[in-house]
A and B are shown apart, each in its own frame.
Chain A
Amino acid sequence: MDNAIATTHDAGVHEEHEHIALPQHRHHFETEEQQREAGSFGMWLFLLTEIMFFGGMFFAYLLYRNWYYPAFAAASNQLNVPMGAANTAILITSGFAMALGVYYAEVRDRKKLVIALIVTTIFGCAFLGVKYFEYKEKYELHHIPGSGFSVSMFVNPQAFPQYPDTFAEKPLAPDMAQHTQLFFFLYFAMTGMHALHMIIGIGLLVWLIWRANRGEFSEGYVAPIENFGLYWHFVDIVWLFLFPLLYLINRHPLK
């Protein structure tokens, strides 16, 4: 032996690495566990960049809510809490189905894995469907920031008896009412980027369902399902913060 490293491997370790070509154990990894951990590590590093990405918008919301508090409270109370709450439950259900999907991939049950992924997709689409009706309402009320934006609901809330939360608000001064645009800008930026993540996720799910149906993830190769699960749960977590911050925390504004 010409160096110390070469003397460290014993016969057992050596044999373990002969001619391995499984997708869950590529030849450049020592063990299946090592490959798996490397994959999880990489996926988490990606998710950390996503935390920073969404975090910037959460910070903007925190700051501007403090600066223009009356405008943010009034605009926030116009959002539809039952729809937001329903969407939270829908998203949690989708995440539950995804978690079961990872389990069924682990126990190599192809049929149940495919069913779990389909349920995940259906609830993901349901979330986007509810979001469509929420966006539509904002469009009809001229609450999309830009030249078409209308402050009438915030300078004259008594003209909107069909929105009881808004109806009870005190009118805002016109200059403060203009700052409700900032709230809606952040609302569309944050929920829009969240929805874009959902759309990308649903696209990936369709691809994974197709592959899962061919049995690719029921022979011990779980990594794509597991790592997609991490992504999907991350998108859930973003919504778990968006819902209270955008919809709920302004129902009793400080006097």
Chain B
Amino acid sequence: MAHDTEHHYHDPMNVTNPEHAEHHLVTPGQYSIVFGTLLVGTAITVGAAYVDMGVLNPIIALAIACTKAVIVILFFMHVKYQSRLIKMTVGAGFLTFIILIGMTLSDYMSRAWGLW
């Protein structure tokens, strides 16, 4: 009986788990819109680089790059249609990355900034 129990053990949570998102297909039409948006974004970022906006130049370039990256992550990488587990994983990764950058930068800024 012990063997039987082991063999037939199925956690029903795994079968009926609402976390398992409905499988969603992104269509070629939607991919084409994403593709066009990314190309337009590239054109804008190159154009913006040649306009003198002072300190805003790198900020705008990074804002466009972040927007394009989010579009790629949401649609090409299907994160928009994934379960909450995957969304949390992706979000946690970027949050950890920002924390590491922020803490390292604050260390450099508070120790030797301007002394090199």
Q: Show the binding face of A for B, using Cβ within 8 Å.
A: 2-3, 5-6, 8-9, 13-14, 16-17, 30-31, 33-34, 36-37, 40-41, 44-45, 47-48, 51-52, 55, 59, 62-63, 67, 81, 85, 88-89, 92-93, 95-96, 98-100, 103, 106-107, 226, 229-230, 233-234, 236-237, 240-241, 243-245, 247-249, 251-252, 254
Contacts and interface: CB of A to CB of B under 8 A. Distances in A.
Contacts, number: 162
A120 B25 CA distance: 20
B1 A233 contact: no
Given A62-B105, A240-B69, A14 B49 contact: no
Given A37-B86, A48-B93, A230 B77 contact: yes
A37 to B, nearest CB: 6
Contacts of B46: 81, 85, 248
* Main secondary structure on B side of the interface with A: helix
B86 A40 contact: yes
Interface of B: 1, 5, 8-12, 14-15, 17, 20, 23, 25-28, 31-32, 34-35, 38-39, 42, 45-46, 49-55, 57-58, 61-62, 64-65, 68-69, 72-73, 75-78, 82-83, 85-86, 89-90, 92-94, 96-97, 100-101, 104-105, 108, 116
30 contacts: A6-B9, A8-B10, A8-B11, A9-B10, A30-B11, A31-B20, A36-B23, A40-B86, A44-B86, A48-B89, A51-B97, A81-B46, A81-B49, A85-B46, A92-B42, A96-B31, A98-B76, A99-B34, A107-B25, A233-B73, A237-B69, A237-B72, A241-B65, A241-B69, A244-B62, A245-B65, A249-B49, A249-B61, A251-B49, A252-B51
